[in-house]
Amino acid sequence: MDKHIADYQHFQHTDLYVYQCGSLQCENGHGYGPAVRDHFLIHYVHSGKGIFKIDNTIYELKAGNGFLICPDIITFYKADDADPWHYSWIGFHGLKAEAYLKDSGLSLLHPVFEYTQDDFIDTCFYEMVDAYNIKRGGEVKRLAYLYLFLHKLTELNPVGLYYDSADSRRDAYITKALQYIEMNYSRKITIDAISRHVGLNRSYFNSIFKSALHMSLQEYLIEFRIRKACELIPNEKLSIGDIARSIGYNDALLFSKTFKKIKGTTPTNYRNLLPELNSRQEET
């Protein structure tokens, strides 16, 4: 039997903090509860079997399954009598804990998940537990692997599955796309890449995007880049080619043509006209 418990000070004003983590090879029929917790607690089953009970609902779990215990909820779980499970757990809370769980598809109504593609989640839990033995940086490592674990579940969860309405689901898709553009506009990104990041078919997502913002995804990306170019043009240390590369255009000529189409003049003329434009603004 290996069992490690790590208790932490409750950092009430942080996004996410760890209360405890551990691993246990249970004995036949070993159970815990009924009991309540004051934080979120996730168990992941490495091998064996067992049951998890909330109210009158019983979940039969096996290797590759995990289950969420929410704060102040009575739960009970028990290892199988013949093939007891070996599980690891992580207890955590924080200002964004519930939001992260919702994004990952876990909630009181959907407390169970399954992951059998590879050993990624096994590794996350083993590393969190192993970090207990690290004298310096163990807390950071535990938190890092908790984020990686939640990210993996979020990556697998269909975006917006638990949003309250079609509008909020649509807004979530669009917000995710806008954030992706803002973080990646300087790179060579495509509409296909943005759609894949959101998790929707390109044509379908473009129709959603256009209905909300009254422009296509391609048009928004171009206009966003040109706005960024306008912010850089006053910096005379940057050539037009430098600006083009900085906003995701490797071809300065293509950038100039696109800029003229949007702004009605070339980047060079726009730069030359800036003193006059600024003077007009001061006069008004």
Q: How confident is the model at residue 169 (pLDDT cuts 50, 70, 90)?
A: confident
DSSP per-residue string spanning 10-79 = --TTSS-EEEEEEEEEPPTT-EEEEE--SSEEEEEEEESEEEEEETTEEEEEETTEEEEE-TT--EEEEE
Q: Residue 5 pLDDT more than 50? A: no
CA–CA distance, 261 with 175 (Å, rounded to integer): 27
Of 165, 166, 59, 171, the closest CA to residue 106 belongs to: 59
Residue 185 parent element (H or E): none
Read off the pTM: 0.56
The total number of residues shown for the chain amounts to 284
SS3 category, 24:
strand
Mean pLDDT of 67-82: 95
Query: Among 185, 219, 180, which Cα is nearest to 200's?
Result: 180
**CA 275/CA 169 separation, integer angstroms:** 45
- Residue pair 102/68 in contact by the 8 Å Cβ criterion: no
- Residue with the bigger pLDDT between 159 and 119: it is 119
Three-class secondary structure of residue 260 per DSSP: helix
Closest Cα to residue 250, out of 193, 187, 191? 187
Q: Which helix (H) or strand (E) holds 255?
A: helix 252-263
**pLDDT given for residue 157 in this prediction:** 75
Q: Residue type at 142?
A: R
How far apart CA 14 and CA 135 sit, in angstroms, is 22
Confidence of residue 166 (pLDDT cuts 50, 70, 90): low
Q: Lowest-confidence range among 14-18, 124-128, 165-169, 223-227?
A: 165-169
Q: Which helix (H) or strand (E) holds 43?
A: strand 40-47
DSSP assignment letter at 37 = -
d(CA 249, CA 265): 18
Q: Report the pLDDT averaged over residues 243-269.
A: 94
Element spanning 162, H or E: none
Q: In this structure, are residues 153 and 135 in contact, taking their beta carbons and an 8 Å threshold? A: no
**What is the rounded CA–CA span in Å between residue 73 and residue 229?**
53
Instruction: Lowest mean pLDDT of 34-43, 66-75, 135-144, 263-272, name the range.
Output: 135-144
Q: pLDDT tens, 188-211? A: 889 999 988 888 888 999 998 998
For residues 130 and 6, give the distance between their C-alpha atoms in angstroms, rounded to a whole number: 11
Q: Are 249 and 255 in contact (CB under 8 A)?
A: yes
- 3-state DSSP helix/strand/coil % of the chain, to nearest 5: 45, 20, 35
Structure confidence by residue, pLDDT tens digits, 93-111:
988 888 888 888 888 888 9
Please give the residue that has the higher pLDDT: either 1 or 198.
198
